[in-house]
Amino acid sequence: MKRLQVQVCACNKCIMMGAMEIMDSIESLKKLKVQLRLQTQIDVAMDKKICGCLSDDASPVVVINEEVIERATPEIVMEKIVKLTQRK
C-alpha cells in the first residue's frame, strides 16, 4: 500500500491562516478513504515551523511527501492528495 506523509504547519501564523481547516479536511478524507477506494495510507501530523519561514506570506504551509505547498487551502491539499493516491 502506498503511503503519504502529510505535515501541516502549526505555527501561530499558519493556524491563524487556516491550518486547522486543512487538518479537518484531511481527517475527513481519511474517514472517506474506504468509500473513495483510496489504496493509500495517509499519515498526517501537525508540526511547528516546518517551512523554515522562507517567505512572509507562505502561510498556511503543508508538506506532502517532501513537496512544500505554500498558501495552502483545503481544496488545494485535497486535490493534491487525491492525485497522489491515484498515481501508479
Question: Does 23 sit near ligand FES (CB under 6 A)?
Answer: no
| Using rule CB under 6 A, residue 20 touches ligand FES | no
Radius of gyration of the chain from its Cα atoms, rounded to whole angstroms: 13
Task: Kindly give the pairing relationship between strand 62-64 and strand 2-9.
Answer: antiparallel
Phi, psi at 57, each rounded to 5° = -105, 35
Written as one letter, the residue type at 3 is: R
For ligand FES, the closer CB: 29 or 58: 58
Q: What are phi and psi of 56, to 5 degrees?
A: -70, -30
Smallest gap from Cβ 2 to ligand FES, in A, equals: 27
69 binds ligand FES (CB under 6 A): no
Q: How far apart are CA 88 and CA 84, in angstroms?
A: 8
Counting contacts by CB under 6 A, is residue 11 touching ligand FES? yes
* 49 near ligand FES, rule: CB under 6 A: yes
Stretch that binds ligand FES, among 23-31, 35-43, 45-53, 79-87 (CB under 6 A): 45-53
